[in-house]
Amino acid sequence: MLFWGSLMKLKKISHRKLTNFVWAILGFFLAFLALFFQVPGFSQQPVTIYLLVRALEAQQLQPLAQQFNQQHPEIQLELIEAPNDTNRVEDLYTASFLLGNSPYDLVFMDIVWTPKFAAAGWLKDLSGYLSPEELEQFLPGDIQGGMYQGKLYRAPFRSDAGMLYYRHDLLEKAGYDPPETFDQLITISQDLQQQGLSEWGYVWQGKQYEGLSAMFVEILQGNGAFWVNPETLEVGLDQENAIAAVKFLQQTLTTKISPPGVTTYAEEETRRLFQNGKTAFLRNWPYVYGLALDSPIAGKYSIKPMVHAENQPSGACQGGWGFGISATSKNPDAAWEVIQFFMKQESQKQFVLANGYVPSLKSLFNDPEIVAKYSHYPELLTVLESPALRPPIPQYAQASDILQRYLSAAITNTMSPEIAMKKAAAETRNLLAVSK
Ligand code: GLC
């Protein structure tokens, strides 16, 4: 009896021990599974990184995104198409940040968004991610445009600069050199129109949106005027030479070198007119060069720095796009992987070759394949030499909104240039005083 009792006890203990052991194994297995499905690299389930991009560029970025996804099975990059106007995309990003957790891990950023997004604390500080030697390889303006108060918030991807496109075939026919001044642009345009060589002379972006401000800083610089001094916050919009800049735009309409519809055109509308041979001159960004190679005017156009007033400098609006990481992203490491991929020389080269954009990596300007396809790169460098900056201040979006409203009023003849610029200057001063 004694023997049996002891045996049962032993069996009981062994049974309990066994059960505990089985539970421990099961627990361990479950924990392993959980880890397996959470950690990128171990998991079958990739981490998805969302990026909102203007529609045209989203299509152009798609091949690189596909390559990234193939090379990184643990990360899925998803491009979401946004409207083409930069300020509308900025509004979408802003709304998502204001709501709290932004659904976008990466922010494909226009150069002018950096101070606002950084000052608001919406972006991760990327300063430690790139060494000074790595930064040195990019155009200084692109790095500068990603900095706010000494820290880097935007990694450069591609640069941009406004320029003048012209039909060299028409100028040759009529015996003209390309124009240097505003006056020459008007006279040559009128003559080409009168001779029936071109329906319109000059086409530019006059719609009330960010592109209007970008185009206008070039006309300001070409008149020796300025918008806002970022150091002193002085506003120059109501000075005489700034008013002269508005008058030049008005003059393009009164002389009928520009179509009346220009006051509603963004980049794409103006590109189509140029490509379809409807205008002799166009103000636009480098992307037009690549697209127009495949159009009826192929081989008939060239680029040059923007026209300016006598004895004043030319101005190329400094644009450009790069990547930031949302401060609330749950996958900042995967987001950084994406950025590294896009910053690589091979990726930038492929993107530039396919689409004719300006690279931000300096070495690509001398790349034989790029130079062979885009023979205008030497001229492009001269364009980039005279950058006109939109003021890099946190209140930029509001300042630009004010300028756009009053410029639009002036070019659509609802306000005189003097009154429009006086009001624009006063409102801008108020804005900057309140936020000081
Ligand atoms: C281009 C420029 C950008 C600018 C925009 C205006 O995309 O790169 O900086 O704000 O045009 O439309």
What is the atom index within ligand 1 of the atom nearest the CA of 319? 9
Q: Tell me how far the alpha carbon of residue 391 lies from the centroid of ligand 1, in angstroms.
A: 14
Return the amino acid letter for 281: F
Give dist(CA 13, CA 178) in Å, integer: 98
Q: What are the percentages of helix, strand and coil residues in the chain, rounded to 5?
A: 55, 15, 30
Q: Tell me how far the alpha carbon of residue 25 lies from the centroid of ligand 1, in angstroms.
A: 59
Nearest alpha-carbon partner for 112 in 312, 399, 412, 414: 399
Fold of domain 162-317+390-435: D-Maltodextrin-Binding Protein; domain 2 (3.40.190)
Q: Tell me how far the alpha carbon of residue 42 lies from the centroid of ligand 1, in angstroms.
A: 40
Give dist(CA 145, CA 391) in Å, integer: 11
Low-confidence stretches of the chain (pLDDT beneath 50): 1-4, 6-8, 10, 13, 32, 35-38, 40-41
Q: What is the pLDDT of residue 267?
A: 97
User: Which H or E element spans position 394?
Assistant: none
pTM over 0.85: yes
Q: Tell me how far the alpha carbon of residue 214 lies from the centroid of ligand 1, in angstroms.
A: 7
What would the two tokens of residue 11 be? Answer: 């069996």
CATH 3.40.190.10: which residues of the chain? 47-160+319-385, 162-317+390-435
**Whose CA is closest to atom 6 on ligand 1?**
211
Mutate to test the pocket of ligand 1, among 209, 283, 285, 404 (most ligand atoms within 8 A of CB): 285
User: Which H or E element spans position 102?
Assistant: none
CATH architecture, domain 47-160+319-385: 3-Layer(aba) Sandwich (3.40)
User: Which H or E element spans position 80?
Assistant: strand 75-82
Q: What is the pLDDT of residue 236?
A: 98
What would the two tokens of residue 143 be? Answer: 């790095």
Question: Backbone dihedral region of 386: left (phi > 0), alpha (psi from -120 to 50 degrees) or beta?
Answer: beta
Give dist(CA 214, CA 329) in Å, integer: 31
**Whose CA is closest to atom 11 on ligand 1?**
211
Please say whether the dihedral angle defined by the alpha carbons of residues 117, 351, 400 and 208, taken in this order, is positive or negative: negative
**Whose CA is closest to atom 2 on ligand 1?**
319
**Residue keyed to tokens 């006598």:** 310
Q: Are 82 and 89 in contact (CB under 8 A)?
A: yes
Q: Are 110 and 321 in contact (CB under 8 A)?
A: yes
Sequence length of the chain is: 436
Q: Tell me how far the alpha carbon of residue 6 lies from the centroid of ligand 1, in angstroms.
A: 86
| Ligand 1, residues at Cβ distance < 6 Å | 86, 110-112, 160, 210-211, 214, 267, 285, 319-321
Q: What is the pLDDT of residue 259?
A: 98
Secondary structure of residue 207 in the 3-state scheme = coil
Q: What is the pLDDT of residue 386?
A: 81
Nearest alpha-carbon partner for 268 in 86, 52, 65: 86
Return the amino acid letter for 247: K
Q: What is the pLDDT of residue 258?
A: 98
Packing angle, helices 345-355 and 55-71, rounded to 10: 140
Q: Tell me how far the alpha carbon of residue 257 lies from the centroid of ligand 1, in angstroms.
A: 24
Strands 155-161 and 358-359 turn out to be antiparallel
Q: Quickly count: other Cβ atoms within 10 Å of residue 342's Cβ.
A: 23
